[in-house]
A and B are shown apart, each in its own frame.
Chain A
Amino acid sequence: MEQESLARSIAQHPLVAGMSDEHVDFLSGCVRNARLDEGQFLFREGQRADELYLIRSGKLALEIHDGARGTIVAETVGGGDALGWSTLFPPYRWELDARGVHFAHLFAIDGACLRAKLEADHDFGYAFTRRLLNEVHSRLQRARLQALDVYRARP
């Protein structure tokens, strides 16, 4: 019963919305609810990446710390975003820090469990990976635009 309601709420998340009930149910076996307080780190660069996150609400900063420049926020993410594809690929280590800016609710998807299911059912694997790819594509476009530093004054 609890699993069913979890599946229903996961299905609301933009990354999952539109997937078949069967696939959502299948995925929900790997999912737990999680929360993150303001100022708390969800993960730190270099640590083992063993969960993928779907953010339900709140705001997180993806940060990179550089000794000389201090902490740089690469992007903030919030409700509707997905986070943590390092959990899908070896060596399964985080490449930056994720810190809570506003209290956040998340779905945490267990990495090992998810990888096993992606392998076990390629239809599910395709549906899920495709959605993830779309997200990665948008993130890459945004990163490019950000790197262009378009608002800089050019005399």
Chain B
Amino acid sequence: MTVSSAPDPMLPEPLRIARAKRETHGVFTFELDVSARGGFPFLPGQFNMLYPFGAGESAISISSDPHQPDRLEHTIRAVGAVTRAIERLGRGDVVGVRGPFGSAWPIREAEGRDLVVIAGGIGLAPLRPVVYHALRRREAFGKVALLYGTRTPDDILYRKEIERWRGRLDVEVEVTVDTAGSDWRGNTGVVTKLISRAAFDPGRAFAMICGPEIMMRFCARELERLGVSLDRIWITMERNMRCGTGLCGHCQFGPSFVCKDGPVYRYDRVQDLLLVREV
């Protein structure tokens, strides 16, 4: 009996860094050259395992436009050994890539509804493909709001792009920071505050939230308070994703594997588990 030669999902594919951009202190964006492989199709919310030579792998969500598969971007925060090794790379260097893995934001299901995108910190990166999609297919949605909270004014990601989005009349873009000095003219306070002030109809809203787990729990409750149906709230989970294929076990979250069944989940399906400690 011979065994099929299905491609081994554990083998990284070397891709060259075409562009490197520093976003904020400790956060940077790499665009990878995927021209030789004819693009890199993915769904908004999916992630890749990135491998800096010899240093291990890290799960990083794809942050580019899903309608432009010839441009593959990752925005990375250097916080661990692997992401710091990636940070040391630059244009022309090669990084190993496996993916795309994981579930996607339900952008088709959200069509015809008010779309509320709520991001916290680096959580804007996995939602950026959703924003690109919504702007490209603007007519498919009702109101569109991007509510983004981060730590300080210096931590605001994609600043130029956000300013461009803010300039559009058909999208509500609100940014808030947890901490600021008096020279900051924007909003100070947590992102939940933006939710109650945003112009959307809770009865027809579809919300997608990405950020630290606590922030997502607070946001989901604020949406619930306003009357958004829990089955139209989607969040992402973070666990220790190592293989990306549900075979190594590290990212178990209740009865699911975050790398395969997540990272995007419907809130009402996980809300009970979210409240159990250490699941």
Closest to B178 in A: A146
> What distance in Å separates the Cβ of A147 from its nearest Cβ neighbour in chain B?
9
Mask of A132-153 contacts with B, CB within 8 angstroms, 1/0:
0000001001100110111111
> What distance in Å separates the Cβ of B175 from its nearest Cβ neighbour in chain A?
11
**Contact at A75–B181, with CB atoms within 8 Å?**
no
> What distance in Å separates the Cβ of A84 from its nearest Cβ neighbour in chain B?
17
Interface segment out of the listed B139-147, B207-215, B244-252: B207-215
Q: Which of A72, A73, A80, A152 has the largest number of chain B CB atoms within 10 A?
A: A73
Closest to B152 in A: A151
**Contact at B188–A73, with CB atoms within 8 Å?**
yes
**Contact at A151–B120, with CB atoms within 8 Å?**
yes
Q: Taking A61-B182, A73-B182, A78-B197 as contacts, is the C-beta distance between A155 and B79 under 8 angstroms?
A: yes
Q: Is B239 an interface residue (CB 8 A)?
A: no
> What distance in Å separates the Cβ of A77 from its nearest Cβ neighbour in chain B?
8
Q: Is B201 an interface residue (CB 8 A)?
A: no
> What distance in Å separates the Cβ of A104 from its nearest Cβ neighbour in chain B?
13
B interface size (C-beta, 8 A): 33
Mask of A82-104 contacts with B, CB within 8 angstroms, 1/0:
00000000000000000101100
CB-CB under 8 A from A61, the residues of chain B are: 182, 188
**A150 CB contact (under 8 Å) in B176, B185, B186, B212:** B212
Give residues in A with beta carbon < 8 Å to B.
59, 61, 63, 70-76, 78-80, 99, 101-102, 138, 141-142, 145-146, 148-155
25 contacts between A and B (CB under 8 A): A63-B182, A70-B181, A72-B180, A75-B188, A75-B189, A76-B176, A76-B186, A76-B188, A76-B189, A79-B197, A80-B197, A142-B190, A142-B193, A145-B190, A145-B218, A146-B190, A149-B151, A150-B178, A150-B212, A151-B121, A151-B155, A151-B178, A153-B26, A153-B77, A153-B79
Give residues in B with beta carbon < 8 Å to A.
26, 77, 79-80, 120-122, 149-151, 155, 176, 178-182, 184-190, 192-193, 196-197, 211-212, 214-215, 218
